[in-house]
Homo-oligomer: A and B are copies of this chain.
Amino acid sequence: MSVSQQVFLRDAMRRLNLTRDVFAARIGVKRRALDTWLLPEDSQEARSMPEVVERFVREIVENEALLQKYAQSAQSGPLRDRIAVEGKHQLLSVDQFSRESVEELFRIADLMQPIARRQKVSRVLEGAVLGNLFFEASTRTRVSFGAAFCRLGGSVCDTTGFTFSSMAKGESIYDTSRVMSGYVDAMVIRHPEKGSVAEFARATNIPVVNGGDGPGEHPSQALLDLYTILTEFSRLGKLLDGAHVALVGDLKYGRTVHSLLKLLALYRGLKFTLIAPKGLEMPDYILDQVSKHGHVIEQTSSLAEGLPGADVVYATRVQKERFADEQLEGYSAEFQVNKAVIDRYAKPETIIMHPLPRDSREDAHDLSIDLNLDPRLAIFRQADNGIPVRMAIFAVLMGVEGLVQHSLRDATWQSPSHVGPDDSAFHGLD
């Protein structure tokens, strides 16, 4: 691009109305790198920017234009009103989202990336208190929500354990929820019983996020999964419309894949290959919902049939207890998603995902650890995305998403450029 590289970048910053610092943070590169790209071509220090940066910037600019169009045409009001549940600012199910609203959420998640990557600090929720109520153990999810709230400047009160002390004495969900609502400003609730979180939500007017209600929903997981797919595709220069997604493993009991499938169905012309062992197929009511949108669905129990051509391989664990003993024979080998399988059936730019945790023990029917150094393995980038997506959820439900941009300041402490020693080099683009 030689000379036009400077013009291109300057134009992008102007259209997005961003300073160099913020722009560099927005596209996840070092300010220093950006500066070298903006130097005159005859400068000794000048560098060409990688092509992927160009594509990324182009997409940001186009999306910005699109979103401004949405905003102007719709006069639609705050996102939280458009996804509200009976007028309340709560996130209970992925069914609350349209393609437009989910992409608006992700634009806010993008805004959170400089904070999530420890380049910037925001205190926009300073003074607010989150009640992080986990009636079922889930350290990972609990810490992810808690850290996300802290990174917005808020404080967190945790409760853990199968049962609340007072609920054991006969207190109703109604009372528990209403009393906690007087103490905190938002609640995340995880509970082993389907529908229980909705019951909590009905008893309060403050923001509630469903952190997983047994076999029900776990919407923040599905949202971060979709966000990961879109982010990875953006890096690869791909579009989600028309893509091929393979879902592997226990598709019957895994609530994660149910919610993800519903979100993916908001896009156009996807092909799904659902690869499950006999007896663990995706339930019909989900299939019906997806088919109505005109997507192609293929069901198989063979990796060899389902993986070829996939842009995304989404693996989940198959719990041994789910099988009758006679079926277990020979199953493990042919069903595990490992390096041999991926190298044989997948493409060079296929991305491999997993909701985690995965069972890393040798005899597990799960995603193998022999892919840990393969850059196609996106599971840790996916887990990392839990922070910006959950920050966006909180910001939207509490109505502060418009305050974040101007609340940013530099982080004082120094962070490693990559949090994982095996993180692929393209992560962060610097």
Interfacial residues, chain A to chain B (CB-CB below 8 A) = 88, 115, 118, 121-129, 131, 137-140, 142-144, 146-147, 150-151, 153, 155-159, 164-167, 169-172, 174-176, 178-185, 202-206, 356-361, 364, 366, 369, 372, 380, 383-384, 386-387, 398-400, 403, 411-416, 418-422
In the assembled complex, the Cα of A278 lies from the Cα of B372 at a distance in Å of 50
Q: Are A185 and B421 in contact (CB under 8 A)?
A: no
Q: Are B415 and A175 in contact (CB under 8 A)?
A: no
Residue in B138, B157, B357, B364 whose CB lies within 8 Å of A147 = B157
Residue in B115, B129, B180, B202 whose CB lies within 8 Å of A151 = B129
Contact A127 B131, CB 8 Å, known A420-B203, A420-B205? no
Can you give 25 contacting A-B residue pairs, CB < 8 Å? A126-B412, A127-B151, A127-B153, A129-B151, A131-B143, A137-B165, A138-B166, A142-B159, A143-B157, A143-B183, A143-B184, A144-B183, A147-B184, A158-B158, A170-B359, A175-B356, A178-B422, A179-B356, A182-B383, A182-B386, A203-B421, A205-B421, A400-B412, A400-B413, A400-B414
Q: Are A166 and B420 in contact (CB under 8 A)?
A: no
Contact A205 B156, CB 8 Å, known A183-B386, A386-B182? no
Q: Which of A115, A138, A140 gathers most chain B CB within 10 Å?
A: A140
Point out the residues of chain B lying under 8 angstroms from A179, CB to CB. 140, 356, 380, 383
Residue of chain B at shortest CB distance from A122? B127
In the complex, what's the smallest C-beta–C-beta distance from A73 to chain B, in angstroms?
25
Q: Are B131 and A159 in contact (CB under 8 A)?
A: no
In the assembled complex, the Cα of A293 lies from the Cα of B366 at a distance in Å of 52
Please name 9 further chain A to chain B contacts, defined as beta carbons within 8 Å, in addition to the given A139-B164, A150-B157, sorted by A numbering: A126-B412, A138-B165, A142-B157, A147-B155, A170-B360, A171-B360, A181-B420, A182-B380, A398-B413
Point out the residues of chain B lying under 8 angstroms from A175, CB to CB. 356-358, 360
Query: Copies of this chain, how many?
Result: 3
Q: Are A372 and B182 in contact (CB under 8 A)?
A: no
In the assembled complex, the Cα of A183 lies from the Cα of B182 at a distance in Å of 28
Point out the residues of chain B lying under 8 angstroms from A182, CB to CB. 380, 383-384, 386-387, 419-420
Point out the residues of chain B lying under 8 angstroms from A124, CB to CB. 412
* 5 pairs of A and B residues whose beta carbons are closest in the complex: A121-B127, A170-B359, A205-B416, A182-B384, A166-B357
Residue in B185, B383, B386 whose CB lies within 8 Å of A118 = B185
Residue of chain B at shortest CB distance from A319? B169
Contact A155 B155, CB 8 Å, known A170-B360, A183-B386, A420-B205? yes
In the assembled complex, the Cα of A247 lies from the Cα of B414 at a distance in Å of 39
Point out the residues of chain B lying under 8 angstroms from A358, CB to CB. 170-171, 175
Residue of chain B at shortest CB distance from A144? B183
In the assembled complex, the Cα of A185 lies from the Cα of B411 at a distance in Å of 11
Residue in B128, B178, B205, B420 whose CB lies within 8 Å of A413 = B128
Contact A123 B118, CB 8 Å, known A171-B357, A419-B181? no
In the complex, what's the smallest C-beta–C-beta distance from A41 to chain B, in angstroms?
35
In the complex, what's the smallest C-beta–C-beta distance from A164 to chain B, in angstroms?
5
Residue in B165, B176, B372, B420 whose CB lies within 8 Å of A204 = B420
Contact A129 B147, CB 8 Å, known A166-B140, A372-B174? yes
In the complex, what's the smallest C-beta–C-beta distance from A97 to chain B, in angstroms?
21
